[in-house]
A and B are shown apart, each in its own frame.
Chain A
Amino acid sequence: MKNLSKAVALAAPAAMMSAAPALAQSIDEKVNEIFASSTGWFVNFIFSPFPGTSFPWIVAWLVVAATVFTFYFGFIQFRAFPHSIALVRGDYSDPKDAGEVSHFQALATALSGTVGLGNIAGVAVAVGIGGPGATFWMILAGLMGMASKFTECTLGVKYRNEYADGTVSGGPMYYMTKGFAERGLPAGKFMAVLFSIFCILGAFGGGNMFQANQAHAQITNVVGDYPGWITGLIFAGVVFAVIVGGLKSIARVTEKVVPFMGILYVGTALFILVMNFDKIGWAFGQIFAGAFTGAGVAGGMVGALIQGFKRAAFSNEAGVGSAAIAHSAVRTKEPITEGFVSLLEPFIDTVVICTMTALVIIITGQLIQDPTTGLYLLDAGASTIQTVDGNKGVALTSAAFSSAFGGFKYILAVAVILFAFSTMISWSYYGLKAWTFLFGEGKTTEMVFKLLFCVFVVIGAAASLGPVIDFSDAAIFAMAVVNIIALYFLMPIVKREMTSYLSRLKSGQIRKFG
């Protein structure tokens, strides 16, 4: 009897262990099923194309807004570009404010939230489907997106909450409530609540689960396959230490290493371009030819345009409203100055970093062309361009860089992991701001969000929850729907600020220090 019970006692955990993968599998399937059935309509709605095309209306929504802001503010992104650089350099910062958040710091923090997988994997997807021509449309959308960022970040600073203890909270939910009330417009509070809900969902999904999932995918590419929950637990532990434990050293190290990785990435890309300088003219020829003719890619010119616009919009988050939360902490008497600084963000993210990725892929000859016609060869499904070794996504970028530097895939893996981590830290903050807007500020409510955030890290890395991630991406772009409506209503306020500031700058009333 004793032996029997011992045998049962030994057999039970063994049976549980053998059943565990099946159980985990069924949980994954169940979660997928529930999410797909309850949220599929929302995802389909957000990413649905215009009838008869494959052009998602949400991309048009972002690009049209960027175009409207560009014209409304008189091409401010080009006119104010040198002044933006001067602001970041601190030429207009009062030395008495040393020790406060500088324009550079607000910009760097916001950038660490946007520079990431979109710049590395996303561009490869765009060029792989839309061909080199996608790069042209991506740059154009990036340049236009600068005006959207300018609008939202100015409003973020103008309508932020400054508390008695010196801390600040800002972002679209604050300019929706306060800005709409100031202009006597209804529904500001309703829009702020809606935005906050989407922001929380986006933070859990695109800003968390997607990042954990892709970081795990990168690690397995280098070290071989192993269960995702291990990566998830490690990531969750580190995120927990930073956002709950307040372990600033880890975040500081990341904040220092991420820009370094960004510089290394761009530096390596530049080096590859210099090594192949004779092909740069040809590459730009491909980009311009592809932009207007399609050069044989799936969907022709429209296919290239869709991919380019989509990638720029998804990468720099201009119009989404997330950057307005990060930028609102800067110490300035003139909210518009943060608008000027923030317009550099899509420029660095899309016009510089994304373009570098695209150029390296094109110049290193990853996309296979027909030697006689010069057109790109499509794969069996005729949806993507054939690549050397059949690489797609991040693997395509990795192959392009590795063709020049053999060991670059390891550096790239580290970069992806760090970018993913810094994006998670940024989005944990964006989500928390939306959470406290809805549920009030307080240690308990904040702790609930932070713990939930850590749980989602594990889920994201462990499971391939496609529908969950689709839903989260849709939530991020739903933020843009609400945010851009608010920006249309509040843009006259930004214009007033801009006109006043520029006239004072011209008259010499606003001068450089030192």
Chain B
Amino acid sequence: MTTKFVVGYDGSAASRRALDFAMERAAAVGATIIVAHVLEWSPYSFLTPTELEERHKRRGEELARAESHLMAPLKSQLSGKGVPLETVIRYGHVADTLCEIATDNGAAQIFVARKGESSLAARVFGSVAGTLAQCAPVPCTIVP
């Protein structure tokens, strides 16, 4: 069975560093990379009636935009690197969803970037990297 690494990717320079780091490890051990992009979403958020009406349409647009602007360029850039690459786009709480993707795919590791946020919000609510360090079902590498 192929070893799989899940990499959290949001298009930022930091997440690209995490991806490059994971690519090196994957090349060394012959693993497959699953690039995961999670659109932050809570089923308990509040929407206006118009937003309710348009939600299905907007969801389609958001998924299409993530595919065309993030995943498609990435796939074409990394196609010749010799590391098998899969992509997945999901909605949900970022850290929880990365854990679910890792569990669903039987991944061996999760790689995420550390953004080094020191804002009050990050301190109160925690960061993605911090939450994963606490809750990840598999070893988690946090790339600075």
B91 close to A98 (CB less than 8 A): yes
Answer whether residue A169 sits at the interface, using C-beta atoms and an 8 A cutoff: yes
Contact A426–B49 (Cβ < 8 Å):
yes
For B115, list chain A residues within 8 Å (CB): none
Judging by beta carbons under 8 Å apart, are A259 and B43 in contact? no
Query: Nearest-CB distance from B51 to chain A (Å)?
Result: 7
Q: Are A105 and B92 also in contact (CB < 8 A) when A98-B41, A100-B55, A329-B55 are?
A: no
Chain B residues contacting A329 (CB-CB under 8 Å) are 49, 52-53, 55
Determine if B48 and A255 form an interchain contact, defined as CB atoms under 8 angstroms apart: yes
Contact of A99 among B41, B49, B50, B52 (CB under 8 A): B41
Beta-carbon contacts under 8 Å, A430-472 to B = 430
State the CA gap A256–B45 with chains docked (Å).
8
Q: How many residues of A contact B (CB 8 A)?
A: 38
Given A168-B53, A329-B53, A100–B59 Cβ distance below 8 Å? yes
Q: A104, B49: Cβ atoms under 8 Å?
A: no
The answer to whether the Cβ of B80 comes within 8 Å of any Cβ in the partner chain is no
Q: Does A109 contact B (CB under 8 A)?
A: yes
- B53 CB → nearest A CB, Å: 5
Is A425 a contact of B53 with CB atoms below 8 Å? Answer: no
B2 to chain A, nearest CB (A): 24
User: Looking across the interface, which residue of chain B has its beta carbon closest to that of A425?
Assistant: B48
Q: Does B29 reach chain A (CB closer than 8 Å)?
A: no
Establish whether residues A101 and B47, one from each chain, have CB atoms under 8 Å apart when the complex forms.
yes
Let me know if A109 and B57 touch, CB within 8 A.
Answer: no
Q: Tell me, in angstroms, the Cα distance from A255 to B42 when the chains sit together.
A: 14
Q: Which of chain B's residues has its CB closest to A331's CB?
A: B56
Beyond known contacts A242-B48, A252-B48, A429-B49: 9 more, CB 8 A cutoff: A93-B43, A98-B92, A99-B39, A100-B59, A104-B44, A105-B52, A167-B54, A330-B52, A425-B49
Question: Which residues of A does B touch, CB under 8 Å?
Answer: 90, 93, 95, 98-102, 104-106, 108-109, 112-113, 165-169, 242-243, 248, 251-252, 255-256, 258-259, 325-326, 329-331, 425-426, 429-430
Q: Which residues of B contact A (CB under 8 A)?
A: 39, 41, 43-57, 59-60, 62-63, 90-92, 100
Query: Can you list 26 pairs linking A and B with CB atoms under 8 Å apart?
Result: A95-B92, A98-B90, A98-B91, A99-B41, A99-B62, A99-B91, A100-B55, A102-B43, A102-B44, A104-B43, A105-B45, A105-B47, A105-B52, A109-B47, A109-B49, A109-B52, A113-B49, A165-B57, A166-B56, A167-B53, A167-B56, A248-B51, A258-B46, A259-B46, A330-B52, A331-B55
